[in-house]
Structure 1
Amino acid sequence: MKLAHFLSCELVSRMKDQVLISNAQQRETGKVNAAILRAVKEGIFEFVFEIVKADPQLVWSGDSKSRNIFSVAVQYRHAKIFSLIYGLDIKTALARYPDSFYKNNLLHMAGMSAPSTALNDIPGAALQMQRELQWFKEVESIVPSKVCSHLNKEGLTPRELFTKNHKDMRKDGEQWMKDTATSCTVVGALIVTIMFAAVFTVPGGILTSRYAEEDFLESLPRKMIIGLSTLFFSIAAMMTAFSAALFLMLHEQSWIFKPVICLASIPITLFVLMQFPLLVAMANSTYGPSIFDRKMKRWF
């Protein structure tokens, strides 16, 4: 692994040296632009950064449809490469120009469906929808206002393109939210039956509401975080009360008390193990560090 990393760094260093001494014709012959765009598609940040840092004009490198490296980074959802745009003073210019074929600008690219490989590590359709909205909002925050109303070849604005391409994901996210809330409500109902004379519901009416796209950005995750946190607290309180009651009744018969507690803990433990990672993932995605490096230092 170390040898492969060393060889990769050496290759990048030599390519950077060649970029510095080559002219436009030599770069075209050597397919430098094609190599950069391929690296962007694959998300190879170190290669892209070192090469464009050697010659910042290469940020204008375009593919056959005139899409620059940042348009490609958005299309393939590589946040680290896209964040290089924050280190440039020309980000507005880079964001303004549409491609030559579909007339899609940078925000249109954020409105396209992400490749499946970009979403594989994100659990659940709702969190995937949230990530797509985060991308769209991030790109929207840096483009000129005119870009937001620009029409592509299909006559669609970036927002309309986003809605069109994410219609199925929104429906899947809605169903995922309801299914998750239902499973939590069943457990909550059991807790109510055992301990409380009250009604347990996931906060915010998740089971009955219809969702807008924007709800997936923060509103729905926040409600689910509150619901899951409350549920885990209720489970802990229930087990504490249950254990205390058994201990008071059977403290002289520990051979009965301990096995009963262990058996009762098994389904609770399994449920928590299944749902707690979801709570952590949702909290990190909603309130954790951004995937974008807005504090990128100027490198050109």
Structure 2
Amino acid sequence: MAASGTSSTAGDATVSHHDAFRELLNRQKDHLPPVLVDYLGRPQGGHLGHIDVDGNTVLHFLAIDGDESAFKELSEKGLITSEMLRKGNFRGNTALHEAARFGHLSVVKIMLEKEEGLALARNNLGETPLYVAVAAGKKDVYDFVKQKLVGKENDVTRRNDGSSLLHAAVVAEYYDLALEIVESFPHLVGAHDEKGITALSVQASKPLSFKSGSAYSFINLGSRSFIPIQLIRCLIYLCIIPPMDQRAIPTGDEENPPRKNCSFLPQPITELKWKLISGYRWILRRVSILIRGVDDIKQKHTLAMLLAKRLIAKETDWSHYTYGESSTEPWKNQGQTDHSVPLHPIERRPNLHFAAVTTASSPRNNRMRNPLIQAVENSIEELVEAILETFPDAAYTVDRNGKNILHIAVEQKDKLLYDYLKTKVRKDMMLRAIDNQGNTILHLATKQGTSPRILLGHLNQMAWDVCWFKRIWYDSSCHFQYHRNLDGKTARELFQENHVTLRENAEKALKDMNNGLMLVSTLIGTVNYATLFSIPGGYVDDNESKSFGRPKFFSTKKEDQLLVFLWYTGVALFSSVIALASMLVIQLSRFTDDDFFMTLPLKYVGALAALFVSAIFTVAACVETYLIIEINVNPYYLMWPLVGFLILLSIDVVYLTFDYMYFAIRCAFSFTGQEM
């Protein structure tokens, strides 16, 4: 007690920032050490000192931790003053900003009861606590602070660069919160920042927020490293039906995932039954987490599309995206165009961290970002369809390089979007258009690479590029093959120039892979050839027997099984020979651009199919051998897992090539344009 009293008495002289920081870090939550009480009660403003490199004070740390009891204790003792609450760190964030960022509603309530005007405080970026809460997705804090700001004249919905609450919610993909902001602040729908970016423009730059841009669309199979697992996820995604009236997306950790509207999930039954299946609980838990994770993704996609439709529906005219130009301070003059509330001067108070809205130093003439152009560039098909259904005239806009949306779809090699746009626009006019660099649609089809959503190797990428060039060749005008752009190059010359390195890499990759596969085919063929001379049971070696030299199991009850074994071995042998021959033909190919269109993929698939058949029948012959010699082991326990593994591996290896060949064959039979 004496020591405690001494510490208290000498607190003004001995308690430093270092001591306060150490006690703050080592304290137990909901317990305020006496040293901190002494430190905060020091005279001469010592309690306002920054105690870490970011400029945070004691109140900042208590707000970050959400220590409600500490705030109540300090408030009851009168140790929290308005000056302390207004104190900001080096980023200008007050303790209220930090409490709002981390979603500590109880602490937010205590601070606003003490200093209601703190809700108008801005950090160095001009962000209010309301903005910070939205950016962090803290809906309960947003609802409370919003009620406190009712009737305030200051515009708390924007920060210095003109970014609004709606921008913040969409950037962080909190679409449930964005929908509420649209209802509460409808004037923010068309609001844009100093770069001309609206909330719809932000959403058009997020392909993963939509099914068409995610790994859960069947068209994007191959965007993940192992296709069979991605296929399972797509099937789960297809089976889940999101509730129509549920906006919020609950969160949960791995051990306690949120429960969703998935009636087929394993639910807790009785304790006895759970004990009976205790060996499978880990698997069931992982499957449940997988399903719930896919369900969360589908919820996000549903909410993103709902928000996009709301934003598009509230647009009155698309011309400001097409022809409008930003003013000196574009987002401050939107009251005349998007029915926004006029901004008022920001009230200044002593030591309260309000930041005046910055003005542009020089006039800007930047056109507003066109969400349709962005959606086409990012291959967000749902968003493109929603915009064109409401604003059909938006299809005839061009980007800063003079490319229309059909040009961009061709450049992105998006076959679905390209086919869709041809049905929605005057394709003859748009197909014949030329951009500012003199490039025709055929020139734009020469771009190396494919849609970034698919992970392709050099072989498949080269094949897709050749096929896509032929596909656009069929649709383009005949004279485009002779047209030269401003660099003096025809489309074919530009294609060959862009694909020199890729063609060489594809040739090298295919030959290197062939070397390994040829070795495997040779080994399988050798093993099966040797097996024909060492069949189960051996041969009759009695010179006086009529069956001399024939298999011993002939004319016995195992004759049928032996014949099956010989058939399996023969098929495996001949399949390995076919695979080896196909690979030798590939090695001797010329590897021209046209070879990559159909010849090489067909030989490649044929060789892999033959090798797969050879491996399967070799495994089957092994199993048949176990059955013939009657070993006391069930060979099917080994066979079916091995066959399943080979099937999954084959799907992962050849799916992209099969998908390409289907598209290439369909194009070859569907289009009868000019010959290349």
TM class by smaller structure: 0.7 to 0.9
8 Å Cα contact 1:74/1:106 also seen in 2 = yes
Within a 5 Å distance, the mapping from 1:281-300 to structure 2 comes to: 281-287=656-662
Tell me, in whole angstroms, the C-alpha distance in 2 between the residues paired with 1:151 and 1:271: 50
Q: d(CA) in 1 for partners of 2:492 and 2:322?
A: 39
2:449 maps to a residue whose letter is A
Paired residues of 1:91 and 1:142 also in contact (CA < 8 A):
no
Counterpart of 2:438? 103
Contact kept, 8 Å, 1:92 with 1:144, in 2: the verdict is no
CA gap 1:55/1:214 in 2 versus in 1, 3 angstroms: same
Look up the match of 2:313: 13
State the alpha-carbon separation in 1 of the partners of residues 445 and 507 from structure 2.
Answer: 21
Distance 1:147 1:53, change over 3 A: farther
Distance 1:172 1:120, change over 3 A: farther
Structure-2 residue corresponding to 1:136: 469
CA contact (8 A) 2:445 2:472 kept: yes
The CA distance in 1 between the partners of 2:661 and 2:606, in whole Å, is 12
Q: Give the Cα separation in 2 of the matches to 1:40 and 1:77.
A: 11
Q: 1:127 aligns with which of 453, 460, 465?
A: 460
Q: 1:273 to 1:219 in 2, by over 3 A?
A: same
What is the alpha-carbon distance in structure 1 between the residues aligned to residue 523 and residue 371 of structure 2? 59
The one-letter code sitting in structure 2 at the alignment partner of 1:284 is D
Whole-angstrom distance in 2 between the partners of 1:242 and 1:108: 55
Say if 2:402 is the partner of 1:66: yes
Which residue in the other structure is 2:504 paired with? 171
> Equivalents in 2 of 1:110, 1:25: separation in Å?
25
Q: 2:483 aligns to what SS in structure 1? A: coil
Match of 1:147 among 475, 480, 490: 480
- Decide which of 599, 606, 620 is 1:240's aligned counterpart: 620
Aligned 8 A contact 1:27 1:33 in 2: no
Cα distance in structure 2, aligned partners of 1:59 and 1:215: 37
Residue 599 of structure 2 corresponds to 219
AA partner of residue 71 (structure 1): H
- Spell out, residue by residue over 1:183-241, the C-alpha distance to the aligned partner (whole angstroms, 9 max, x if none): 22222111111113875514270122221111112111111111111111111222222
Contact 1:80 1:291 in 2 (8 A): no
Q: 1:5 and 1:34, CA in 2 relative to 1: closer, same or farther beyond 3 A? A: closer
Aligned partner letter, 2:314: R
| 2:582 is equivalent to residue 203 of structure 1 | yes
CA deviations over 1:134-174 (Å, ceiling 9, x no partner): 22122111111011211012211111111111111111211
Change (3 A) 1:184 1:70: same
TM-score where L is the length of structure 2: 0.38
- In the superposition, the TM-score normalised over structure 1's length comes to 0.79
Distance 1:26 1:166 in 2: 37
Equivalent in the alignment of 2:491: 158
Q: Which amino acid aligns with 2:499?
A: H
| Equivalent-residue separation in structure 2 for 1:62 and 1:113 (angstroms) | 22
Question: CA separation of 1:87/1:107 partners in 2, compared to 1, >3 Å: closer, same or farther?
Answer: same
Tell which structure's C-alpha radius of gyration is larger: 2
Counterpart for residue 172 of structure 2: none
* CA deviation after TM superposition for structure 1 residue 47, in Å: 2.8
5 Å matches for 1:24-35? 27=324, 31=367, 34-35=370-371
Tell me what 2:377 maps to.
Answer: 41
**Root-mean-square deviation (Å):** 3.3
* Structure 1 residues 232-271: aligned runs within 5 Å: 232-249=612-629, 251=630, 253-254=631-632, 258=635, 262=638
Whether 2:611 is the aligned partner of 1:231: answer yes
The count of residues paired between Structure 1 and Structure 2 equals 281
Which structure's relative contact order is higher, taking Cα pairs within 8 Å and 6+ residues apart?
1
Q: Gaps (5+ residues) in structure 2?
A: 1-299, 327-336, 338-366, 530-572, 671-676
**Which whole-Å CA distance do the structure 2 matches of 1:230 and 1:69 have between them?**
44
Structure-2 separation of matches of 1:14 and 1:149: 46
SS state at 2:401 partner: coil
Residue in structure 2 matched with residue 298 of structure 1 by the alignment: none
Hey, which of these two has a bigger chunk of helix by percent? 1
Query: 1:262: Cα distance to partner?
Result: 4.1
CA change 1:42–1:161 in 2 (3 A) is same
Q: Deviations over 1:36-79 (max 9, x none)?
A: 22222122223333333444443331222211111122222333
SS in 2 for 1:240: helix
State the 1:85 CA deviation.
3.6
